[in-house]
C-alpha cells in the first residue's frame, strides 16, 4: 500500500475515532465486511443500541454477578491496565507542552578581595550580581510536533481500549471458570447418588451370595463397580477446590477468600438466555475493544510517519534573554545595568548520509505492520463470532440429544435395579445399566458446560463485557 493510500485510510479512521469512540463503518483495512452473519439463523438481530456491557447478568446467577463485580474492582490486571492509561496520558501531556516556549531563570552573586602586599596589610574587596531570564521556542512550521502529539493521543486511546479488552477478557474467563465449578459440583452430586445406588446393589449381591442364591463372582463384580464410582469422588472434589482457588486468583483475592460466597445461594450451572440478539457484523467491529485498539495503533503509526517525514524540512528556533549585571546588589535594579538579546536561527538538513530517509522508510514499514495487524484483528473478530454461533447451535443440539438419552438410561438403570432385587435378572445387567448411566451423566454435564461456555464466548466475540462509563 502506498503512502498516499495509507494516509487516506488513516484519515477515514481518524474521522471514525474522533468524539467518543471508533465509528468507522466504510473501511476495515481492506476487508469486505458481510452484511449479516452466516450462522446466525435463529438468533434475533439486535438494534444498534443493545447493551452487552454486563452480559453476565443475563444468566440470572447472583453468585456469578458478585464474583465478576468483585474481580473488576480488585484484579491486578485491571489495576495495571489503568496505570498504563495514566502513563499514556502523562506522556501525551508532555508532548503537548513541547509546543509552548520554555522560560528559565538564573541569578548569581560573587565576592572578591585583593591585597596590596604579601603580608595582608591592605585588603580591598568588591562584589557583583547578575540575574537573567532565558526563553526559547521551536516553531512547529511543518507539523512535526503536532504529528508527535497526534501519535501520543492515539496511544492514549489504545491504552483505554486495552483496558476495555482486559475487562472483557477477565469477565469471560471468570464466567467460564465459574461454569466449570458449578459443573463439577453438579457432577459430584450425581456421582454421590450413583455411589449410594451401587452401595445398595453391592449389599444386595453380598446378601445373595451369603444366602447361596449367587456365587462370589457376583458380589465381587458389584463391589468392583462400587469402588470404581467411589474413585471418581476425590477427582471431582479436587476440581471443585482448584476452581474456587482459580476464581479467587482471577478476582485478585487469596485462596479461599471466595469460598463462602461460592457456597451460598444458587449453585446450579449458569443457563444462557435464549433471547440473545447478535446484531450485524459492522456493529460488532465497532463494539469490540481489540478492533478499536488496533485502529488507534494504526493512527499512532501514521502520525509517527508524518513526524519522521517532517524532519526533512527546516526548523525555526527563537531564543531570547533579558539580564542585569551590576557591581553591587544595590544597583541590580538600575536600568543602566540591563541587557537583552533576541536570536532567531533557521536550520535544516543538508547531508545526513540517508539517515532521515531510512527513518521514514522504517516508519512506513511500521505503519504497514499496524495496518496488517488491524486487518488481521478484523478477520479474527468475524471468525470468532461465526465460530461461537456454530458452537452455540451445535452444543444445544448435542445437549437436547444427551438429555433424552440420559433420561432413558436413568429409567433403564432403575428398572434393572428393581428386576435384580426381584431376582428376575443378573448382576451384569444392572452393572451395565449403571455404567451406561454414569457415562451419559458425565457427557451431559460436559455438554451443558460446553453450551454455556459457547454463549460466554459469543458474548465476548460480539464485543460485550465493557462500557464507556465503566
Mean pLDDT in consecutive groups of 10 residues from the start of the chain, 470 residues:
43 41 47 82 66 87 93 93 94 88 72 56 57 74 88 94 94 96 92 87 82 77 85 94 95 93 84 79 88 94 92 80 55 53 74 86 93 93 93 93 94 88 82 87 92 94 79
Count of CB atoms situated within 10 Å of the CB of 434: 24
On whether residue 229 sits in a domain, the answer given is yes
Burial of 133 (0-12, 13-18, 19+ CB in 10 A): middle
First to last CA, the chain: 38
The DSSP symbol for 104 reads E
Residue 5 has what pLDDT? 43
Query: Over the range 159-191, which residues count as b (16 or more CB within 10 Å of their CB) and which as e?
Result: bbbbbbbbbbbbbbbbbbbbbbbbbbbbbbebb
Distance CA 255, CA 247 (A): 9
The DSSP symbol for 321 reads E
Write the CA distances from 85 to 19, 112, 155, 432, integer angstroms: 18, 55, 9, 61
Task: Spell out the residues 6+ positions from residue 339 whose beta carbon is closer than 8 angstroms to its own.
Answer: 321, 322, 323, 324, 325
pTM score: 0.81
Residue 334 has what pLDDT? 52
On whether residue 119 sits in a domain, the answer given is no
Distance CA 282, CA 382 (A): 10
On whether residue 122 sits in a domain, the answer given is no
Inter-residue contact 162 to 84 (CB < 8 Å): yes
Residue 438 has what pLDDT? 87
Task: Spell out the residues 6+ positions from residue 88 whose beta carbon is closer than 8 angstroms to its own.
Answer: 152, 155, 156, 158, 159
CATH number of the structural domain spanning residue 268: 1.20.1600.10
Counting the structural domains of the chain, the total is 1
Distance CA 243, CA 179 (A): 10
On whether residue 216 sits in a domain, the answer given is yes
Residue with cell 479467587: 248
Inter-residue contact 54 to 66 (CB < 8 Å): no
Residue 118 has what pLDDT? 54
On whether residue 228 sits in a domain, the answer given is yes
Residue 87 has what pLDDT? 94
Distance CA 28, CA 182 (A): 40
Residue 19 has what pLDDT? 40
Q: Which domain holds residue 383?
A: 17-99+143-313+373-461
On whether residue 224 sits in a domain, the answer given is yes
Distance CA 338, CA 233 (A): 92
**Which of 124-130's residues contact partners 24+ apart within 8 Å by CB, and which partners?**
126/327, 127/327, 127/328, 127/329, 128/325, 128/326, 128/327, 128/328, 129/324, 129/325, 129/326, 129/328, 129/329, 129/332, 130/106, 130/323, 130/324, 130/325, 130/326
H or E stretch covering 218: helix 216-250
Distance CA 228, CA 434 (A): 12
On whether residue 396 sits in a domain, the answer given is yes
Residues in the chain: 470
Residue 6 has what pLDDT? 42
On whether residue 299 sits in a domain, the answer given is yes
Amino acid at each position: 500500500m502506498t503512502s498516499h493510500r495509507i494516509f487516506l485510510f488513516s484519515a477515514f479512521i481518524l474521522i471514525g475515532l474522533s468524539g467518543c469512540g471508533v465509528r468507522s463503518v466504510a473501511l476495515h483495512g481492506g476487508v469486505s465486511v458481510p452484511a449479516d452473519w452466516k450462522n446466525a439463523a435463529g438468533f434475533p438481530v439486535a438494534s444498534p443500541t443493545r447493551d452487552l456491557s454486563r452480559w453476565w447478568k443475563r444468566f440470572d446467577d447472583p453468585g456469578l454477578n458478585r464474583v465478576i463485580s468483585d474481580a473488576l474492582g480488585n484484579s491486578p490486571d485491571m489495576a495495571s491496565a489503568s496505570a498504563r492509561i495514566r502513563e499514556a496520558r502523562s506522556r501525551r501531556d508532555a508532548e503537548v507542552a513541547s509546543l509552548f516556549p520554555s522560560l528559565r531563570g538564573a541569578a548569581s552573586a560573587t565576592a572578591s578581595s585583593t591585597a596590596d602586599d604579601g603580608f595582608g596589610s591592605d585588603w580591598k574587596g568588591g562584589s557583583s550580581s547578575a540575574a537573567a531570564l532565558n526563553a526559547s521556542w521551536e516553531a512547529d512550521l511543518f507539523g512535526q510536533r503536532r504529528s508527535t502529539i497526534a501519535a501520543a493521543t492515539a496511544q492514549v486511546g489504545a491504552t483505554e481500549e486495552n483496558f476495555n479488552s482486559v475487562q472483557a477478557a477477565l469477565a469471560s474467563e471468570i464466567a467460564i471458570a465459574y461454569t466449570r465449578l458449578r459443573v463439577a459440583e453438579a457432577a459430584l452430586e450425581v456421582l454421590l447418588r450413583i455411589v449410594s445406588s451401587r452401595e445398595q446393589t453391592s449389599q444386595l449381591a453380598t446378601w445373595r451370595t451369603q444366602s447361596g442364591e449367587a456365587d462370589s463372582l457376583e458380589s465381587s463384580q458389584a463391589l468392583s463397580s462400587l469402588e470404581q464410582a467411589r474413585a471418581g469422588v476425590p477427582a471431582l472434589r479436587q476440581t471443585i477446590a482448584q476452581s474456587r482457588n482459580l476464581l479467587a486468583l482471577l478476582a485478585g483475592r487469596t485462596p479461599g477468600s471466595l469460598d463462602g460466597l461460592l457456597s451460598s445461594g444458587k449453585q446450579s450451572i449458569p443457563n444462557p438466555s435464549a433471547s440473545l440478539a447478535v446484531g450485524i457484523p459492522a456493529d460488532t467491529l465497532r463494539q469490540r475493544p481489540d478492533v478499536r485498539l488496533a485502529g488507534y495503533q494504526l493512527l499512532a503509526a501514521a502520525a509517527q510517519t508524518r513526524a519522521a517525514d517532517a524532519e526533512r524540512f527546516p526548523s525555526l528556533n527563537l531564543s531570547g534573554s533579558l539580564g542585569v549585571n551590576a557591581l553591587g546588589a544595590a544597583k541590580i535594579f538600575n536600568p543602566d545595568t540591563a541587557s537583552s538579546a533576541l536570536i532567531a536561527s533557521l536550520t535544516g538538513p543538508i547531508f545526513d548520509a540517508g539517515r532521515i530517509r531510512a527513518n521514514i522508510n522504517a516508519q512506513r514499514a511500521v505503519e504497514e505492520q499496524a495496518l496488517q495487524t488491524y486487518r488481521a484483528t478484523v478477520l479474527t473478530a468475524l471468525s470468532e463470532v461465526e465460530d461461537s454461533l456454530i458452537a452455540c447451535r451445535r452444543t444445544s443440539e448435542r445437549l437436547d440429544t444427551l438429555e433424552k438419552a440420559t433420561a432413558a438410561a436413568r429409567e433403564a438403570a432403575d428398572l434393572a435395579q428393581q428386576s435384580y432385587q426381584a431376582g428376575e435378572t443378573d448382576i451384569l445387567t444392572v452393572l451395565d445399566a449403571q455404567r451406561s448411566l454414569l457415562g451419559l451423566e458425565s457427557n451431559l454435564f460436559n455438554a451443558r458446560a460446553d453450551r454455556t461456555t459457547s454463549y460466554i464466548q459469543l458474548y465476548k466475540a460480539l464485543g460485550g463485557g465493557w462500557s464507556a462509563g465503566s
